[in-house]
Structure 1
Amino acid sequence: MPLHTIANVAVEDEGEGDAVVCLHGLGGTSNTWTPLMPALGGYRVIRPDLPGSGRSGAAGGELTIEKLTECVTTICQRLGVSRAHVLGHSMGTIVAQHLAVAQPRLVRSLALFGPLVAPPDTARANIRARGEKAQAEGTRGMHDIALALVNASLSADTRERQPVATAFVRESLMRQDPQGYARSCAALAATVAAQVERIEAPTLLVTGDEDGVAPPQAVRAMAERLAAAKGVRTIVLQRCGHWTPVERAEDCVRELRQFLPAQR
C-alpha cells in the first residue's frame, strides 16, 4: 500500500479501479475506513489523515473547513484523480459536501456516514470548549475527551457488546495530537454550511438511531434539501451511535456494495 506525503498530509493509496476518496471525522484517521474496505475491492481507495489529524501535520495558519476542502482537491490533483466517489464520516461529511459544491465534476457520488450540514449552535460551543481543553491540557485533556466521547457518541449496545469497536474509538481519540485536535475543533465549530441544494451527485446518507450528532430527523431533513441530487437514499441503523463505520461495519458494507456499483 503506497503512502504519500502531500502538502504535509499522509495519504494511503490502495488498489486499482475507479477512485474512492475517504474523509474521516473529528478525532478520526484513515483507519476509520478500515472496517469498510471489504466493500471497496476493485476500487482505488485514497485515505488521507486530514491536516492536524493522525499522522498529518497541521497546515499553516488557521484551520478551516475550506482549507480542508482545498487540501482534498490538491490530493486528488497530485494523484491524478479527476473523478471520485467520496465517502465521509462526521466532519468529513461536511468537507465532502463543500467539495461536491466546489468541484462538481470531481465528485461522482457521496456516501455520508453520520452526516450533518453544520453543527447546531449549542454543539458549536461544546466543540470549542473541547478544543480549548485539548490545547490547554494536552495529553491529559485528550484522555478526558476520549472517555467522555466514548460514552456520548457510541450506542449503549456498542459499549456493552463490542469491546473492540469501543477500544478503537477510544484509541483513535487518545492518539490525536492535542494541538492538531484543537485546531480541528476550531474548524468544525466555525463551519459555514455548504449550499447543499446545489449538489447533484447521487447521495447515500447513513446514520444511527442513537446518533446524537446526526440524529435521524436531522438527516432526513438534510435529505430533503438535496433536491438536485440524482437520487438520495437514507438509512437509519438500529442500536447504533455516531461511529457508524465502526459500530455497524457489516451494515455499512452492505449499503456501500449496493450503492457504489449503481453509480458506475
Structure 2
Amino acid sequence: MTLTREDSGIAAADVELAVEDSGGGFPVVYIHGLGGSGNVFEAQITALTDFRSVRIDLPGSGRSGVPQGTLSIESMASAVSRCLSALGITRFCLVGHSLGSLVCQALAVREPTRVAAMVLIGAIAEPSDAARTGLRSRAALARRVDMAQIADQIVTGALSRASRASNPAAVVAVRELIMRQHPEGYARTCEALSEAQAYDLSGVTAPVLLIAGGADPVSSAETSRFLASKLSDARLAVIEDVGHWIPIEAAQSCSNLIAEFFSERGIAR
C-alpha cells in the first residue's frame, strides 16, 4: 500500500489505525492512554510547531478499529512500529501518556536505535494487584453499561480536585473522550493494561523526561521517580495540583516542559 501524508487510516495486522500526520521537521509520535485518542495531545501539538507530529489512535481506541483477538501492550507497540515504518519514519521521539507510556517503553526496549528521546507523562511501571483487579472489573462494566457511567467515574477518580473545581474544559474533554470509546475496544484495552508487566529499561539510552501530576491518584510522582531511577538519562518534572490527565489538565505547563526538554537535548528540527 502506498501512503501519503493525507492518509487517515493505516492497516496494522487485522485492524485499521486512525493516524494524523502533520507538520514538518523531526517526527514526534504521540501515544495516548486508556480511554484516550490522539486528541489528548492537541495542546502539545499546537505548541510544538517545529516538529512533524504523528498521533496514532491505538487498536481498539478512539477512531481505530477493534481487533479480532485480545490486545496487549506488545501488540499495541507492534502496531505503532508497523505504522511508523509504513509512513517511512525510521527515527523519532516518543510522547506517551499513561498506558501510552508503557507502549513507549516497549518500543524503546525493542527498537532502541529508533528512539531519539522519550517523554513519559503520568507514567506507569506496571499496575498494582489492586489496579489489575479494578481494570478487569471496569472491562466487565464497559460491556454491561453505557460508557457515560465510566466517563463519570474517570472524571471523579482521575482528575485532581483542583481541575474539577476550576478547569471545566478539562472535565468536558476527558468525559467526551471516554464516552466516545467503543465499549468492546475499551474493555479489551482495560484487560491489556491489567496484564502489563514492567519493562527492563537498562538498555534504553535515549534521554527521557518524566512528567508527573502532584495530585495524580492513578500513577503517583513516586512511580515516575522509580522509573527515572531505572533509566540511564532521565529527569522528572512534577506539576502540582494536577491529576492523571496531565496533557489536558495542565496543557500549557506540559507543552512548555516538552519543548524545553527537546530544546535542551538538541532534538533535530
Whole-Å separation in 2 of the counterparts to 1:112 and 1:54: 20
Residue number in structure 1 paired with 2:212: 207
1:193 aligns with 2:198: yes
Tell me what 2:157 maps to. Answer: 152
Matched letter for residue 120 of structure 2 = L
1:138-191 CA distances to partner (integer Å, 9 max, x unpaired)? xx1x11111011011001110011111110000000110100000101110011
* Count, aligned residues: 258
Q: TM-score, normalised by structure 1?
A: 0.95
Structure 1 CA distance for aligned equivalents of residues 192 and 45 of structure 2? 28
| 1:29-56 Cα distance to aligned partner (Å, 9 max, x none) | 0100001123321111000111001110
What percent identity do the matched residue pairs reach?
Answer: 39
The equivalences for 1:1-264 within 5 A come to 2-7=6-11, 8-137=16-145, 140=146, 142-226=147-231, 228=232, 231-261=233-263, 262-264=265-267
Q: CA contact under 8 A between 2:125 and 2:223: conserved in structure 1?
A: no
CA distance in 2 between partners of 1:3 and 1:43 (Å): 19
The CA RMSD measured in Å over matched residues stands at 1.1
TM-score, normalised via structure 2 length: 0.93
Superposed displacement of residue 260, structure 1: 1.1
Contact 2:23/2:52 (8 A) holds in 1? yes
List runs of 5+ in structure 2 lacking aligned partners.
Answer: none
Displacement of 1:17 in angstroms is: 0.8
Distance in 2, Cα, partners of 1:96 & 1:243: 17
Amino acid paired to 1:54: G
Deviations 1:190-223 (A, max 9, x none): 1122212221110000011111221012211111
Runs (4+) of structure 1 moved beyond 3 Å?
none
The separation in 1 between residues aligned to 2:132 and 2:25, in whole angstroms, is 39
